[in-house]
Structure 1
């Protein structure tokens, strides 16, 4: 975002109003500022649907899960979602072994993904199946088909509002 203020012509109130508008807040615009930018509301989880998908899940609940995950688990869940809801263990491990922004060692991917189960217990609907299912025999991860579209919508909001996502704790590695 780029914000330019002219310190010779803009007042302090205009500068504050411009910063507030840039962050989607509703500024108190001074009367003297005739060409003030309109404050556009920023999308948030409340803009996602709250009607039930599969197993009591809603787009809002899926976003809450995504927002609460550690970055590595969020990236892995996104990867399985991007692959249509099904991915082999090997594909996920290879993808993240040399990933440029979220590398996860093959030996630690399972531990990283336990965050999904823990977060689901805290914010997911009661008595639902696991969001990310592990099939040990077929060695694959799977997401219920009815949830894949909702996850796409939740990740789209996450892309627009990364400020709502949990970050990596300082100094820790995935």
Structure 2
């Protein structure tokens, strides 16, 4: 190691044996550890789900599940949380219900600003410049997501729950401050 750099090594004292811990330290310092004969094989690692596992078939207005994931992943965490809330309540939510749900974490005066990024991200990553993900009806004071996109968005959020490393600004589920 060079001066000023550090390394973090985690050893689980409940499951790792002494030999495994020593081997991990040796490996961290570039030494080739002698593997004990009775050392159990490491369990097979299941592959992580990937956005490519989502459908690429066209849904309503040219959307695909993969495209929806790209948009959701690119949103700031607060905007992602609001979209998730509208999906969770069936695709339509009043302005007041959304504001009450997120109060005081997102002040009333900031909900609209939080959601302005949605259309910008959709314009950049969506199927075309006219595409809408979250529709706002100023007269009825509701947010709406087309019913045809609800189930695909549920699958997208399920993947986002597992692959928070692919989301902008950290996991969508982090506490809003």
Check conservation: 2:122, 2:131, Cα contact below 8 A. Answer: no
CA distance in 1, matches of 2:161, 2:63: 21
What is residue 97 of structure 2 aligned with on the other side?
91
- Structure 2 segments unaligned to the other structure (5+ residues): 1-10, 28-34, 171-175
CA distance in 1, matches of 2:131, 2:137: 13
CA distance in 1, matches of 2:110, 2:20: 57
The two structures have a TM-score, normalised by structure 2, of 0.76
- Residue 6 of structure 1 and its aligned partner are, at CA, apart by 2.8
Check conservation: 1:55, 1:128, Cα contact below 8 A. Answer: no
SS at match of 1:87: strand
Task: Find out whether 1:5 has 2:11 as its counterpart.
Answer: no
CA distance in 1, matches of 2:140, 2:20: 67
Q: What per-residue deviation string (whole Å, max 9, x for no partner) do you get for residues 31-58 of structure 1?
A: x666221121100101111111101101
CA distance in 1, matches of 2:143, 2:19: 59
How big is the alpha-carbon RMSD for the aligned residues of Structure 1 and Structure 2? 2.6
What is residue 65 of structure 1 aligned with on the other side?
71
The two structures have a TM-score, normalised by structure 1, of 0.77
- Residue 83 of structure 1 and its aligned partner are, at CA, apart by 0.8
- Structure 1 segments unaligned to the other structure (5+ residues): 17-29
- Residue 126 of structure 1 and its aligned partner are, at CA, apart by 1.6
CA distance in 1, matches of 2:139, 2:48: 44
1:56 to 53, 62, 71: 62
CA distance in 1, matches of 2:129, 2:151: 21
CA distance in 1, matches of 2:20, 2:117: 52
SS at match of 1:36: coil
Q: Would you say how many aligned residue pairs link Structure 1 and Structure 2? A: 152
CA distance in 2, matches of 1:34, 1:104: 50
Query: Is 73-82 or 4-13 further displaced after alignment?
Result: 4-13
What is residue 118 of structure 2 aligned with on the other side?
116
> Would the alpha carbon gap of residues 84 and 11 (structure 1) be closer, same or farther in structure 2, given more than 3 Å must change?
same
